[in-house]
Amino acid sequence: MSFTCPICLDDDRTNIESIGTLQPCNHKFHRDCLRRWHLYAHDLVCPICRVESDILLVRLSDDQSMAPIRVDLKKGFDAKRVMEYEQQEEEFLRRFNDALRIGSRQERLVLTQCNICGGSEAQLDKACHSCGTLFHESCLRSLACEVGDPSSWQQCVECRDPVNQFRRSHAGHGSGSSNRRLQMPDEMTRLREVKTKIQEHVRRVLKEFYQDIDRDNPRIKIDKKHFTDINKQVSRKLYRISNYRYLRGIIDYDLEAQKEVRLELRKLGYIDV
Amino acid sequence: MSRAAKEYKTITKVLKEGDEVYSQLIVGMEPKEDLTRWEALIRGPSGTPYEGCNFRLHLSLPQEYPMSPPYVKFEPYAMPHANVDFRTGEICLDILTKQHWSPAWDLLHVVQAIGQLLDEPVSSSPLNVDIANILKANDMNAYYGLVHYYIKS
C-alpha cells in the first residue's frame, strides 16, 4: 500500500493503524501528524480542504469487512480541551475516565493518554473496560514493580478490575459497562480528594524553597515556572507510588516529597539543595 | 528523513526537470547553510510591471514547520508592491499567517502564491500605501511608472 502523508510527506510508515481518514471529507493523514496539527491550529479543520471534521476513521487491519473505528474528534480531541487539560487537574481526571466509551451499537473510541505516564505516543495497549481507562502495558508493569507488587500489574490503577487487551479484542464487549459508569462520579471525587491531599504535602515542601521564610538567611529561590513544574512532577510521582490512594500511615508524604523535590531541583540545575 | 529534506528533494527535482507551473516563475531556489534557510529567485510575471526583472526571496522555516508557516521576505528595498513593506521586504499574504496556513502546503506552494501576489496585488490590505492608492485610483500609467522607478533605482 502506498500512502504519503500530506503533512510530514513521509511515505515509509505504511502501517495501516497509523493512518486516519477524516470525515466527512475523506482526506487521509498520519494520525499523529493530524493530531499535532489539530492541537496547533486549535480547530478541527482539514489541512487540505478546510472542511471542519468531526470523525476520524482508523482501520486496524486491511480486512475491508471489518468496520473502522470511529474516533469522535469533538469529544476526545477537542484541541482546546487538551490545552486546558495540561493546566487543570480536574480536566485531567475527567479525560482519563472518558477514555473509552462503549456506545449501544457502535464502539466509540476516544483517543487519549496513558493513565500512568500521560503519554499518547506508542501504542496504548491495555484498557480497563469497567472505568474506561487506558494504559501502556509497560507503564502498568513498571508501576507494579515500583509499588512492590509485580503481580498486580494486570489490575486497573483506578478501579482494580483486570485490564484487557486494548484495540483488537474488545469487539463484542459492551454489556455491563453502563451501570459501572454510573459509579464514576464517586470514584472521581475520591480520586480528586486523594490528589488534593497529596498535593498539599508537595506544596508545603515546595513553599519552603520558594519563599524566603527567613529573610536573613534566605534559602534558594525558585522561579514560578519551575515551582509549578516541580509541583506537577512530584505530585504525579507520589500518586503513582501510593497507587492513587492516600496512604498516610504507610507513606511519609512529607519526607517523600522532600526527597523528590530535591531531586527535581537538582535536575533543573539548582545547587545547594 | 525530515520534512525539509523531503522538500529539498522535490524542489531540486522540479527545478532540474522543469515543471509547467514552477519553471515560469522560479529561476532558482536552494537552501543556505542548512535546510531551515532558503533563498529563491523569482521572475517578474509577464503582463505586470515586474516583467523582465528577478527578485530575491528569503524563506526561513520555524522549528515547528510545517505546523507553523515559513517566514518569507523579499530583499529589503527591492520590491515595490502594494502588499510588501518596501523597507523590510515583509510580505502581507494570508496563507503566511498562522490562522490561514495549512501543513499540507510546502515551500513551492508558498513561492507560487507570492508569484500570484505580484500578478494580483490586493490594494485593500496594503503595506505600501503609495502603490495601493495608485491601484485604487486605477491609474495604470502611474502604477507602472512608480514600480519601474523603484526597481531601476
Superfamily of domain B3-152: Ubiquitin Conjugating Enzyme (3.10.110.10)
Q: Is A48 on the interface with B (CB under 8 A)?
A: yes
- Count other C-beta atoms under 10 Å from residue A166's C-beta: 21
Query: Domain extents for chain B?
Result: 3-152
Taking the alpha carbons at both ends of chain A, their separation in whole angstroms is 56
B53 is catalytic: no
Q: What does the pLDDT read at residue B95?
A: 92
In angstroms and rounded to an integer, the radius of gyration of the C-alpha atoms of chain A is 21
Looking at the complex, does the CB of residue B1 fall below 8 Å from at least one CB of chain A?
yes
pLDDT (0 to 100) of residue A110 = 44
- CA dist., res. B65 & res. B35, Å (int): 11
Q: Which three cell numbers stand for residue B4?
A: 525539509
| Facing B104 at nearest CB: one of A36, A40, A48 | A48
CATH number of A12-87: 3.30.40
d(CA B91, CA B81): 9
| Per-residue pLDDT reduced to its tens digit, B139-150 | 999 999 999 999
CATH 3.30.40 region(s) of chain A?
12-87, 112-178
Interstrand relation of A55-58 and A69-72 (parallel, antiparallel or unpaired) = antiparallel
Q: Beta strand A55-58 with A28-30: parallel, antiparallel or unpaired?
A: unpaired
Under a CB-based contact definition with an 8 Å cutoff, are residues B60 and B38 in contact? Answer: yes
Judge if the upstream peptide bond of residue B103 is cis by omega within 30 degrees of 0.
Answer: no
Helices (H), chain A: 31-41, 73-76, 79-87, 89-98, 137-146, 177-182, 184-210, 224-241, 253-267
CATH 3.30.40 assigned to A112-178 = yes
pTM higher than 0.80: no
* Contact criterion met (CB < 8 Å) for B103 and A33: yes
Which cell is A135 given?
494504559
pLDDT bucket at A113, cuts 50 / 70 / 90: low
Chain B from 18 to 57: CB within 8 A of any A CB: none
DSSP 8-state assignment for residue A45: B
Mutation site for A-interface testing, chosen from B65, B67, B105, B108 by largest number of A Cβ within 10 Å = B67
Q: Omega of the bond prior to A162 within 30 degrees of 0, cis?
A: no
Condensed to tens digits (0 to 9), the pLDDT of residues B78-126 reads 999 999 999 999 999 999 998 899 999 999 999 999 999 999 999 888 9
Q: Does pLDDT of A106 surpass 60?
A: no
- Where residue A217 falls among pLDDT bands split at 50, 70, 90? low
Closest CA to A44 of A110, B79, A35, B141: A35
The beta-carbon neighbor of A7 closest among B1, B68, B103 is B103
